[in-house]
Every structure is written in C-alpha cells, then in structure tokens.
Amino acid sequence: MTTELYDKLGGEETIGKVVDYFYDLVLADDTVNHFFANTDMDKQRRHQTKFISFAIGGPNQYTGQSMAKVHTGMNLQPVHFDAIVKHLHDALEHFGVQEADINQALSTVATLRDDVINK
C-alpha cells in the first residue's frame, strides 16, 4: 500500500486525533472496555496511532509485537473484534473520512482478524 490513504487522512497528527476519539468510544463500551482496565492509555494511544498509521500506508514506525503475540491469552471473540472495528469506523467517520476510505482502512484491519481472535 502506498502512503496515499495515510496522506489523504492527514498523516499521523490526524490519525492521533482519530485514535483518541476511538478510545473514547472503546472505553465507553462495556463489550470491550474491560480489556483496557489495567492499560496505560496514554501509551496505548501513542502505540495505536503508530500502528494505524503504519497499517494504512504511513511510515514504518510500528515497532510493537505481532498481533497474534499481543493478543495471546485475551480470549477475544468475534463480538469483541467487531466492536473494535465498529468504533474505528465511527471514529474515522466522525472526522469526516469518506466511506470508501474508511472501507479501505478497515479492509486492512480485517486482515488481522485471525491473528487477534481466540488467542
């Protein structure tokens, strides 16, 4: 993937704003908020900004572990993954991202489903 979508969305600064709003939605959702009960959310937000930036074609600044390794032992189910995807969709939409671009970003996220669920 080129940097086209990353640049179109406004780069890491805008992605950071989307991530902040995304986590506001996540933390308000009882379906998934318990997974973050003991998480340093400032660190999580910075880390997720880098990950999403990388996932949509931005500079390779993501230095975290693989998705499978990070989610091992969490026993995430499809309902959890789907809730996260919905919140990411809603956060992107909130910032005026067009549906076609949201779908492109979420298609990248969808490739991670098997690495995240039931680990």
φ/ψ of 71, rounded to 5, equals -100, 5
Selection from 60, 59, 71, 53 nearest residue 108 by Cα: 53
Q: 83 with 29: CB under 8 angstroms?
A: yes
Q: 52 burial class (0-12, 13-18, 19+ CB within 10 angstroms)?
A: buried
47 is in an annotated binding site: yes
SS3 per-residue string spanning 31-97: CCHHHHCCCCHHHHHHHHHHHHHHHCCCCCCCCCCCHHHHCCCCCCCHHHHHHHHHHHHHHHHHCCC
89 is in an annotated binding site: no
Q: Which residues are known binding-site members?
A: 47, 71
Q: Which residues are known binding-site members for heme?
A: 47, 71
